[in-house]
Chain A
Amino acid sequence: MTRRRRLLSYWLLFCSLALGTIAALNASIDVAGVIRGHSREAMAQFISDLARAPYGVAYVPRERAIKLALLQRFPAECYAIGSSHINGIAPNTLPEFLGSCASFLNLWVGEGALDDMLVFARHIGESPGARTVVIGLDWWFIQADTADQWLDQSVEVGLARAFFAESHAEPEAASALSLVPQRMARTLRYLVNGDYLIANLENVAAHGWHWTFDQEAVPVSSEYDSEPVYHADGNMSYTTGQLAIAERSFTCNNGRYDERIAARREPLFVKAASWLRSRNIAVVLVITPVNEVLTRCPSVIWNSRFEARVREIGARLGVPVVGGLDPRPFGITAAEIAIEGLHPLPGAFAKLRALEPTLDANGASAALRARTP
């Protein structure tokens, strides 16, 4: 073997060993459960710990798995479905619609979108005691495909899509099998991923080498402020640090503003919402306000068109549409909308009210058109 060939072998060996070690580290810590997933028993234990913890448990980024397990284990009367923007909705913050609920679960998930709604709606609709579902709609909600974020539970998305598409013959109806390559690609991405390595190491620094999701939830005390805290109703408390940063730092959510309601997916949304109503479950649509400054961002300028569309859908479904992008009509201040200027705090939700979706002759909401740039 020539010297250069030997060196090339060393290079390959070094890179393989190093990347292999990192992959092993990521797989063994796997703070978000994106590689190994989790066992049913471990999730059941986590949910029990969460329900028992008086002040909640430390945040772990596995919203979808946790929320689905919560929904299956502790079915409630009322629910909220949407993205992190609806974190904070609860019976006491939206009393007009949720005030009489004996039990409530906020099923928000990161970047929550239509696929998440379909998964949750199917379970909620089949749950005997369900009465009200609040759906938080963001501008990407109907467009985005979040199927691959369900990871080891991708079968849930396949089932939900097929369930709601059945009578509509939607081209959307994906089999669970079609999500397998997506999941494999995503798993590989996380195995050899520097950002995920950092997140895993940070988790080790916070909780020690022996902490794994499969072992235990981390209950917190009333003073705990190191990480966000999950509560049994699905809501999450931000840390003081996050809120402090949130006050001074937020930016236009660029990269999203070219998204629009996908015409082919809108019927699926309407179908799911109508199905919930047919099961005597009240549906309420929520548009969360953004920081006043962001109302001038391209995304929000575009969003106002989205808002008009949501009001039209609301009118067609005959359901109330609560809130709106502009915080001013509700008297919501900048301090009441946290992280990125997009996440209203509980106090902001309490100020929201329904704007009547009155359609004009062109099928557009006249009240909204006045506010659309």
Chain B
Amino acid sequence: MIFSSAPFIFIFLPACAIAYVISRKISVRLPPYVLIAFSILFYAAWNFEYCLLLLALTAFNWKLGNALALRKSRAVLALGVAINLLNLGLFKYSLFAAEIVRDATGAFLPILALVLPLGISFFTFQKIAYLTDCYRGEVGRLRLREFILFVFFFPQLIAGPIVRAREMIPQLRRLEGKSAGFLAGLALFSAGLAKKAVIADRVALLVDPVFAAIAGGVPVTPLDAWSAVLAYAFQIYFDFSGYSDMAIGLGRMFGVELPVNFASPYQARSMIEFWRRWHITLSRFLRDYLYIPLGGSRRGATIRYRNIMIVMLLGGLWHGAGWAFVCWGGLHGIYLVINHLWRGCRAQTLALRHLGEGLYSFLAWLLTFAAVTVAWVFFRASSLSSARLVLSSMAGWGTAPSQLTNLNGGQAVWLALLLVVVTALPNSNALFRRELAEPSALLPPGLVQRLSWRPTMAWVLLSGLMFMTGVLFMASDSRFLYFQF
């Protein structure tokens, strides 16, 4: 069951909302249990056995977390982290590891072909963060129901945002008294649904044929390759940020404020800024639980760059068990290192002085956007050889391109419009959380303020319209890209 599916929208969500409201009327103690029941049902609807596995892991982590909250123990923390990583490794990386061994030694390891549990990468990180926070004394002992709801809370269970216990638990304890956000949550959910169904799923039609052709060894024209990669940059953004909006909107409907995950990443003027705007909760996790423990930037430039590379390579691997994902992470690591070197370099000041702030800013944006877009090739391609073929097609190298023609005039205009949307219009944070609003390139700040969410008839109609178009264009076989991670 995914958020943008008829069973979720027309059966699960209304049933959950109604049960939640009724439970609040019966007893203030009931709502968390209702959410727990529906959250477990949400996961079990996909796979009952894996739901049991997740429940067992949850109970294990709860025990360990409470033990750590009582008494700091590196051994207990290491055990908890190891068990969680082992579980992730077994399901997600065993096949990849076997491939590496086979390529290196020719030996075939006996590996079970396991289905990847939905959201395993997300809930593994969430639990590691929880154990670490318990060890650091940032989270105290929790009741089992609190912890189950923290892990299972269905809006964030499958693909984040990756939440921390200390930002969720206090909210989950106050569930009884909140409901004012329902309408705003519904509007944000509708916006996310429209992003996913109307934009991401449609733009995918420009992406899939080209990558499928390339996976089959058919080179394409540079125009097709560039348009497909650009379209993919939009697809993944609208898909994942649409999902995040839906998740945050759902959280708000049930009185929980989930952290924002995107802040117009394609408006970034540097790679450092990009990672502050893209998948923010993952960046935050990697920074707090990997980069800083590795030493961060405290031990000199060389160690800092080494740490950046480690974090980004592992971040790439977290997204998928394959060399293409590792390359994607590695490429971003190199981008970040170059960015840090440039920042410390006198040439930046000179360039800024000679070009003027406006032109410098534009060139910085263009370079960042191009670098990110090129890196998406590794993310989308099914293998390194496919990625190489896409890149050579983009460069116009290699064998004669096929007769594939993927892009027509209307689609080119569509891509251009999306570019304007992602680079110049206010994002959902600006519209739904005024405190996070940033200046828009096209709209004056006053207008953005006036346009932002308010419980008015105009917003009711607008969100209704977004919901309706989302529902109308929901594809029955659509999947969120980040579900695979």
Interface on A for B, CB 8 Å cutoff?
3-4, 7-8, 10-11, 14-15, 18-19, 22, 188-189, 192-195, 197, 248-252, 254-255, 291, 293, 296-301, 334
Q: A19–B469 Cα gap in the complex (Å)?
A: 9
Contact assessment for B182 and A15 in the assembled complex, using a CB-CB cutoff below 8 Å = no
Known A4-B182, A251-B213; contact A14-B464, beta-carbon cutoff 8 A: yes
Besides the contacts A251-B210, A252-B209, A293-B218, what 5 more A-B pairs have beta carbons closer than 8 Å? Answer: A15-B468, A18-B464, A297-B218, A298-B212, A298-B215
Closest chain B residue, CB of each to CB of A189: B476
Contact assessment for A192 and B471 in the assembled complex, using a CB-CB cutoff below 8 Å = yes
Contact of B460 among A7, A188, A252, A255 (CB under 8 A): A7
Interface on B for A, CB 8 Å cutoff?
6, 180, 182-183, 186, 208-213, 215-218, 402-406, 455-457, 460-461, 463-465, 467-469, 471-473, 476
Contact assessment for A254 and B212 in the assembled complex, using a CB-CB cutoff below 8 Å = yes
Q: A192–B182 Cα gap in the complex (Å)?
A: 25
What are 19 sample pairs from A and B whose C-beta atoms fall under 8 A apart?
A3-B455, A7-B183, A10-B460, A11-B464, A14-B464, A19-B472, A189-B6, A192-B472, A195-B473, A197-B472, A250-B403, A251-B406, A252-B213, A254-B212, A293-B218, A293-B403, A293-B404, A297-B218, A301-B216
Q: How far is the CB of B8 from chain A (nearest CB, A)?
A: 14
Closest 3 CB pairs of A and B: A254-B212, A194-B472, A251-B209
Q: A14–B464 Cα gap in the complex (Å)?
A: 7
Enumerate chain A residues within 8 angstroms of B217, measured Cβ to Cβ. 296
Enumerate chain B residues within 8 angstroms of A11, measured Cβ to Cβ. 183, 186, 460, 463-464
Q: A197–B218 Cα gap in the complex (Å)?
A: 36
Enumerate chain A residues within 8 angstroms of B216, measured Cβ to Cβ. 252, 296-301
Q: How far is the CB of B223 from chain A (nearest CB, A)?
A: 13
Q: Number of residue pairs across A and B with beta carbons under 8 Å?
A: 91
Q: A250–B405 Cα gap in the complex (Å)?
A: 7
Q: How far is the CB of A294 from chain B (nearest CB, A)?
A: 8
Q: A192–B270 Cα gap in the complex (Å)?
A: 43
Q: A7–B187 Cα gap in the complex (Å)?
A: 12
Q: A14–B471 Cα gap in the complex (Å)?
A: 14
Enumerate chain B residues within 8 angstroms of A193, measured Cβ to Cβ. 472
Contact assessment for B460 and A4 in the assembled complex, using a CB-CB cutoff below 8 Å = no
Enumerate chain B residues within 8 angstroms of A293, measured Cβ to Cβ. 218, 402-404
Contact assessment for A8 and B183 in the assembled complex, using a CB-CB cutoff below 8 Å = yes
Contact assessment for A194 and B469 in the assembled complex, using a CB-CB cutoff below 8 Å = yes
Q: A123–B5 Cα gap in the complex (Å)?
A: 38
Q: How far is the CB of B171 from chain A (nearest CB, A)?
A: 20
Q: A217–B468 Cα gap in the complex (Å)?
A: 33
Enumerate chain A residues within 8 angstroms of B463, measured Cβ to Cβ. 11
Contact of A14 among B182, B211, B461 (CB under 8 A): B461
